[in-house]
């Protein structure tokens, strides 16, 4: 830390407004709500109400609270939950806060408040509330576990002797995290972690656990019994057994191509089995359809190859089916569409140790031009994906993929794992459309073409792409088009305007919805999309659509602060609650939360020669307002800030409405904490943002450390350090 200059500025870039409150509230009736991270009550209009509070948070770090009725003169009150013994969740908990400590906020306005947890406090689970004169909000809880989703070894289920992985935030603080499975008959099973982090827990299941349906609760080791949190329900059952009869292709004749088809026909007649390929090369002249519950298994990846001729008009898929597996073999093809594909009806597909060499320009000198009486496609974009997934419960592990266009493409497939693969590609390494509960980890994703473009997590024709664990991957060499190393993407929307009425989970729009997406006839079923309160009463809240018909819409839970007829809402896709952790990005564009990214965490990543890490809020094509709220960038590092040529890397926010129908903030509550910028990297906070926090970050060797646009409101810069930085903090266009 030699020659570091600490930042002395803790300031807001917008005036605060005072809101007077005088409505008393019965505190004893509210303490029981401490189990909920945010108390969903409908208090009197004047009483402070907490909508959102930022965590995880450590001592000497700032808590950002979003709510209603704060204003000048309010204070924060903080109390620690006793750690105590950890036994089991209770139905009626009143965890004691021995003492509420008043803390003067650093910033307040009518809808936000920022205060610092005392440096002397030990780490823990804390309750806090907002006091405005004699009125006090219901308490909110900080650092209690917040499980978002789980995956089992069977995808949608976990099996005896298998595993259960839980994802979210504040799941571990280095202590003893645990899970509790409780059956419908009252029996319970406590699980200890095999591996844990603040965002992911891995639990092995006992081999003798009874099959059945269980409720799942999670504890992070702090806060005693008051810190148990529900994590949904889990089905435990053995996997559906496939037949293990072996059909050796060598037993079906001397001609490999005919023998392979005969063995597959035998497996189909048998209701499944293992089609075994001994060492050799197997010519396949057309589409290979794998029967249900069939595994195509080679003797070894390096010993067995299936290969196709250079089609002038290739079939849509070279290998296809539902409920199949491929193991320990290699596939070679030239001009192709999709190489391996499942169907939407598939409930289990796996690829283990499969090598794919899909090269549409094999032995071609120039794209689209004849060379030695052979011609490749005019563009690699005529090709499809090496692996196309549409079904459920898939596994793509330990594979080596070389793809003309897409490496792996998901179109609606859900609840799967893609791990430890090498994906080299000519178009997109991965494209995930309308997925959820996806584990994507320990993969190499490398552009292998000078035109290789970015990688996307998208909602082009759908309502959500959520609950993605994207961890420990290495992404490289992205030079084509927009060069996104990772982007959330796709415009679309259903409504922007006011509400006519709100009652519980029912919502009546003040106008007719207008549906937009990338199809000539946009989809109208918006289940899974998100209703967001952009402005007015209740701003900063979002809820998920569970049903819609005309102007009548239903959301998943009541509002903490009920919107009124002056509130502005947007209904758009949801690409939030995703985790991007411990990845390495080299030579490409940005890692960007390109809107609709609420509650997303980007932590522990490293970047070199790329455009940085950014969160966006925007209205792409004018089709729908897509804000991003409460996204956190924690412990990331830009090692080399120089991008390609004149480009430089930055952490920051970008927000605008190209249709100019909304002039409020489209990025709200973004947190940048403990990030490091080296060698010409910096921070940039754009306009149309509110309540951005940059705290305990470091900038080394740059012209500008932190630049804040004039339109940014409620920015707090605290405890940042600069070394060899000409202008540490700048406000300007």
Contact 75, 130 (CB under 8 A): yes
Q: What is the pLDDT of residue 41?
A: 39
Q: What is the pTM of this model?
A: 0.93
pLDDT at residue 94, rounded to an integer? 54
> Exposed, middle or buried, 219 (CB in 10 Å: 0-12/13-18/19+)?
buried
pLDDT tens digits for range 9-50: 443 333 222 222 223 333 333 333 333 333 333 444 679 999
- Single out the residue of 14, 227, 245, 35 nearest to residue 107, CA to CA: 14
Six-digit token pair at 617?
Answer: 């809020």
Model pLDDT, residue 456: 95
- Going by C-alpha positions, the residue among 605, 636, 601, 635 that lies closest to residue 615 is 601
pLDDT of residue 35: 33
> Which pLDDT belongs to residue 136?
94
Q: Tell which residue, 124, 195, 186, has the closest CA to residue 166.
A: 195
Q: What is the pLDDT of residues 370-412, one digit of tens each?
A: 887 777 888 888 899 999 999 999 999 999 999 999 999 999 9
Tokens at 571, concatenated? 């209904």
> Coil, helix or strand for 149?
strand
Q: Does residue 331 sit in helix, strand or coil?
A: strand
Contact 512, 549 (CB under 8 A): no
- For residue 84, the model assigns a pLDDT of 73
pLDDT tens digits, one per residue of 274-325: 999 999 999 999 999 999 999 999 999 999 999 999 998 999 999 999 999 9
The CATH fold assigned to 242-452 is Pectate Lyase C-like (2.160.20)
Contacts (Cβ under 8 Å, ≥6 apart) of 601: 169, 199, 578, 579, 580, 581, 631, 632, 634
The pLDDT score that the predictor gives to residue 464 is 97
Q: Report the C-alpha gap between 351 and 358 in whole angstroms.
A: 16
Domain regions of the chain by residue span? 11-142, 146-236, 242-452, 495-572
Q: Is the pLDDT of residue 129 over 70?
A: yes
Fold observed for domain 146-236: Coagulation Factor XIII; Chain A, domain 1 (2.70.50)
3-state secondary structure of 87: coil
Confidence of residue 95 (pLDDT cuts 50, 70, 90): low
At residue 729, does pLDDT exceed 60? Answer: yes
CA dihedral 454, 459, 461, 464 (to 10 degrees): 160
Convert the pLDDT of each residue in 499-545 to its tens digit. Answer: 999 999 999 999 999 999 999 999 999 999 999 999 999 999 999 99
Handedness of CA 130, 136, 137, 140 (dihedral sign): positive
Q: 212 near 138, Cβ under 8 Å? A: no
Distance CA 49, CA 129 (A): 9
β-sheet bridge partners, residue 579: 469, 601
Cα distances (Å, whole numbers) of residue 181 to 178, 203, 214, 383, 732? 10, 11, 6, 46, 54
Residue 620 in tokens: 């792409």
Residue pair 317/324 in contact (Cβ under 8 Å)? The answer is: no
Q: Is the confidence at residue 427, as pLDDT, over 70? A: yes
Q: Phi and psi of 536, rounded to 5°? A: 85, -165
What's the pLDDT at 644?
A: 86
Percent of the chain past pLDDT 70, that is, above it, reads 93
CA dihedral 236, 241, 242, 246 (to 10 degrees): 130
**pLDDT tens, 239-280?**
999 999 999 999 999 999 999 999 999 999 999 999 999 999
Beta bridge partners of 73: none
Q: Three-state DSSP class for 88?
A: coil
Task: Pick 495-572's CATH classification: 2.120.10, 1.20.120, 2.40.10, 2.30.110.
Answer: 2.40.10
Between 154 and 33, residue with greater pLDDT? 154
Please give the class, per CATH, of domain 11-142. mainly beta
| Token pair in block for residue 296 | 């195509």
Dihedral in degrees, nearest 10, Cα atoms 420, 421, 423, 428: -70
CA atoms within a 13 Å half-sphere pointing along the CA-CB vector of 674: 13
What is the C-alpha to C-alpha distance for residues 517 and 169, in angstroms, rounded to an integer?
32
Query: Alpha-carbon distance 713 to 709, whole Å?
Result: 9
Neighbours of 353 (CB within 10 A): 17
The CA distances from residue 487 to 432, 490, 682, in Å, are 10, 10, 20
- The reported pLDDT for the residue numbered 374 is 78
Mean pLDDT of the chain: 91
Q: Residue 373 is encoded by which pair of tokens?
A: 């009486």
pLDDT at 91: 55
Supply the DSSP symbol for 41: -
Q: Which of 16-20, 359-363, 659-663, 703-707 has the lowest mean pLDDT?
A: 16-20
**Cα separation of the two ends of the chain:** 31
68 phi and psi angles, rounded to 5 deg: -135, 140
């Amino acid at each position: 830390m030699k020659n570091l200059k600490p930042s002395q500025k803790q300031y807001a870039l917008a005036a605060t407004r005072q809101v007077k409150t005088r409505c008393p509230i019965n505190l004893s009736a509210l303490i029981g709500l401490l189990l909920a991270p945010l108390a969903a009550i409908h208090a009197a209009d004047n009483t402070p109400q907490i909508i959102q509070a930022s965590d995880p948070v450590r001592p000497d770090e700032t808590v950002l609270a979003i709510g209603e009725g704060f204003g000048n003169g309010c204070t924060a009150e903080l109390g620690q939950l006793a750690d105590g013994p950890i036994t089991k969740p209770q139905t009626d908990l009143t965890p004691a806060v021995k003492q509420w400590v008043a803390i003067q906020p650093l910033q307040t306005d009518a809808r936000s408040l920022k205060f610092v947890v005392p440096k002397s406090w030990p780490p823990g689970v804390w309750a806090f509330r907002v006091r405005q004169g004699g009125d006090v909000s219901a308490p909110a809880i900080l650092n209690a576990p917040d499980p978002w989703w789980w995956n089992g070894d069977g995808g949608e289920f976990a099996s005896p002797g298998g595993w259960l992985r839980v994802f979210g935030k504040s799941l571990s603080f280095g202590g003893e995290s645990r899970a509790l499975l409780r059956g419908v008959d009252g029996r319970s099973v406590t699980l200890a972690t095999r591996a844990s982090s603040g965002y992911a827990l891995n639990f092995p299941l006992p081999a003798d656990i009874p099959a059945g349906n269980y409720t799942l609760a999670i504890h992070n080791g702090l806060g005693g019994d008051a810190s148990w949190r529900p994590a949904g329900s889990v089905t435990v059952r053995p996997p559906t057994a496939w037949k293990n009869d072996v059909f050796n292709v060598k037993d079906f004749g001397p001609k490999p191509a005919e023998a392979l088809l005969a063995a597959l026909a035998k497996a189909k007649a048998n209701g499944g089995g293992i089609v075994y390929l001994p060492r050799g090369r197997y010519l396949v002249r057309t589409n290979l359809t794998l029967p249900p519950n069939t595994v195509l298994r080679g003797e070894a990846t390096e010993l067995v190859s299936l290969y196709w001729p250079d089609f002038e008009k290739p079939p849509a898929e070279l290998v296809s089916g539902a409920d199949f597996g491929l193991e320990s073999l290699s596939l070679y093809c030239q001009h192709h569409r999709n190489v391996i594909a499942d169907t939407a009806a598939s409930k289990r597909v796996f690829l283990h140790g499969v090598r794919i060499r899909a090269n549409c320009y094999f032995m071609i000198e120039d794209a689209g031009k004849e060379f030695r009486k052979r011609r490749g496609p005019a563009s690699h974009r005529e090709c499809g994906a090496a692996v196309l997934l549409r079904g459920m419960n898939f596994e793509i592990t330990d594979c080596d993929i070389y793809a003309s266009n897409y490496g792996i493409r998901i179109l609606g497939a859900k609840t799967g794992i893609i791990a430890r693969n090498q994906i080299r590609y000519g178009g997109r390494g991965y494209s995930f459309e309308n997925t959820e509960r996806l584990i994507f980890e320990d993969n190499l994703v490398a552009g292998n073409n000078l035109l290789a473009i970015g990688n996307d997590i998208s909602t082009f024709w759908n309502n959500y792409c959520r609950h993605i664990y994207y961890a420990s991957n290495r992404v490289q060499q992205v030079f084509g088009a927009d060069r996104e190393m990772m982007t959330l993407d796709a415009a679309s929307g259903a409504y922007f305007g006011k509400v006519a009425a709100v009652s519980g989970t029912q919502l009546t729009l003040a106008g007719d919805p207008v549906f937009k997406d990338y199809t000539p006839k946009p989809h109208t079923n918006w289940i899974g999309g998100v209703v967001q309160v952009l402005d007015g009463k209740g701003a900063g809240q979002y809820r998920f659509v569970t049903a819609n018909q005309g102007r009548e819409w239903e959301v998943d839970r009541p509002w903490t602060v009920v919107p009124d007829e002056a509130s502005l809402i947007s209904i758009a896709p949801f690409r939030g609650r995703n985790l991007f952790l411990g990845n390495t990005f080299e030579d490409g564009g940005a890692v960007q939360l390109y809107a609709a990214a609420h509650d997303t965490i980007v932590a522990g990543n490293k970047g070199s020669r790329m455009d940085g890490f950014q969160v966006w809020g925007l209205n792409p094509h004018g089709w729908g307002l897509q804000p991003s709220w409460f996204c956190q960038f924690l412990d990331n590092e830009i090692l080399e800030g120089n991008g390609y040529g004149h480009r430089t890397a930055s952490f920051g926010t970008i927000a605008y409405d190209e249709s100019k129908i909304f002039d409020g903030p489209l990025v709200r509550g973004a947190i940048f904490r403990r990030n490091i910028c080296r060698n010409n990297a910096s921070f940039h906070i754009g306009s149309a943002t509110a309540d951005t926090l940059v705290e305990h970050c470091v900038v080394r060797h740059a012209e500008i450390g932190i630049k804040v646009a004039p339109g940014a409101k409620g920015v707090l810069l605290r405890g940042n350090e600069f070394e060899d930085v000409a202008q540490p903090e700048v406000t300007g266009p």
